Amino acid sequence: MSTPASLDLTPARASAPPAAGFVAAALAVAAVAALLAGWMPITFSIVTVFLFAGPHNWLEFRYFLTRLPARWGRLRGFFLLGFAGMFGFTAAFACLLVLFARGSVTGDSAQYLSSGVLSLLTLWIAALVHLRSRQNPRREWGWFWPVAFGLIALAWVAPYEWQLGLVYLHPLMAFWLLDRELRRSRPQWRGAFHGCLLCVPLLLGVLWWHLASAPPLHDDSPVAQRITQHAGAMALPGVSSHLLVATHTFLEMLHYGVWVVAIPLIGLRTAPWRLQRVPLAHRSGAWRTGVACFLVLGLGVVLALWACFAIDYPVTRDVYFTVAFFHVLAEVPFLLRAL
């Protein structure tokens, strides 16, 4: 039996606190992250992933539950395509990983397969953009198709560089979502937030200036090798691996900071375990129980992830990043929904 949804979605603008605390906290986190990322990039990367990887995924899931409508209505096609892409591409990239690791697909075939999947991924995003632009109020997003086809061309010419770009740009998507949340609930903070955003290229510039001629990282443990490889050291051999890992770890820490602290405070506006603002939980008692069970299950996964990290960090890290691609994909439809 369904119950009518009676959500209070009115933006809490009247009693918003001043932005000084928000700005101070954001700048402090960014400065400390840049310092630690430049000073001890491998250690900082290991610690941040251990601490925040699981919780940030859980909080992201919780945020998406808040933004997922109880009944999709005219958004049905948009969300169906979105969820199909999330599951489909996560499975596809995991399969590619297994095939490449086993050596079943090598050489040009591997290259073509990767480029093909990246092309489909781009088309999926373009289709979501198109569907979203057709919803009221209609948006003039026709420019995205030529951009998407340009990205597909790039995926065939330089697939590794394509995905490396995604890797470095993905942390910035959280800033975009946070900006939309600020616009919704704390519009008076947006100016200060944009000012904070200007500090990101400034801190990156300081990192690059300081580490441009830094010697390569000497830690040749398996974890350090994976982290360095992940940061693109194989693709950019002329760039200091210290600089690459520091840059990526810095951006990733900001990404975690947004998801673990900023969006729960600004976007959720309630404790994560309270379900009052979860539209799906208002459909019926069964849905409420289901949502609660999913959240508890997610917490269990976070705890299990911590335990596995403590037991075997390198293997857990590899498995985590294979599965965690799902959350990268999930951000696409929800970001489009927020625009």
Partner 1 sequence: MKCVLISSAAVAFLLGMAATAFGDLAPPGGRKPGPGLRPLALPAFKPQQVKFSVEVDEKAKEVRLLVPIQVMAAAMGAGPPGGGFGPGVGPGGPPPGGLPPGAVPRGPAVPAEPKGGGGDPAASALRLPTIMAGLALTAAFASGGLWLVRRGAGRALLGVLVVALFVGGAAILWANARAPFPPPVPPGPGAPLPALADLPKGTPIKLPANVELNDKVTIQLLPVGDTIRLIVPKSAIKDADK
Q: Within positions 82 to 141, which residues make up the interface with partner 1, using CB under 8 A? A: 93-94, 96-97, 100-101, 106-108, 110-112, 114-115, 118-119, 140
Cβ closer to partner 1: 73 or 237?
237
Q: Rounded CA gap, 136 and 254, in Å?
A: 33
Contact 334, 174 (CB under 8 A): no
Residue 23 Cβ vs partner 1, minimum distance, rounded to whole Å: 25
Contact 28, 235 (CB under 8 A): no
Cβ closer to partner 1: 9 or 169?
169
Residue 26 Cβ vs partner 1, minimum distance, rounded to whole Å: 19
Find all residues with CB under 8 Å of 39, minimum gap 6, and list them: none
Provide the residue type at 74 as one letter. R
Binding residues among 38-67 for partner 1 as defined by CB under 8 A: 45, 49, 53
Q: How many H helices and E strands in the chain?
A: 13, 0
Residue 85 Cβ vs partner 1, minimum distance, rounded to whole Å: 14
Cβ closer to partner 1: 3 or 43?
43
Cβ closer to partner 1: 196 or 231?
231
Q: Rounded CA gap, 68 and 52, in Å?
A: 24
- Residue 208 touches partner 1, criterion: CB under 8 A: no
Binding residues among 159-198 for partner 1 as defined by CB under 8 A: 159-164, 166-167, 170-171
Q: Which of 17, 142, 195, 205 touches partner 1 by CB under 8 A? A: 142
The angle at the Cα of 297, spanning 295 to 299, to the nearest 5 degrees, equals 70
Q: What is the DSSP string of 258-305?
A: IIIIIHIIIII-S-TT--TT-GGGGTBHHHHHHHHHHHHHHHHHHHHH
Q: Which of 133, 135, 225, 284 touches partner 1 by CB under 8 A? A: 225
Binding residues among 255-274 for partner 1 as defined by CB under 8 A: 255
- Residue 143 touches partner 1, criterion: CB under 8 A: yes
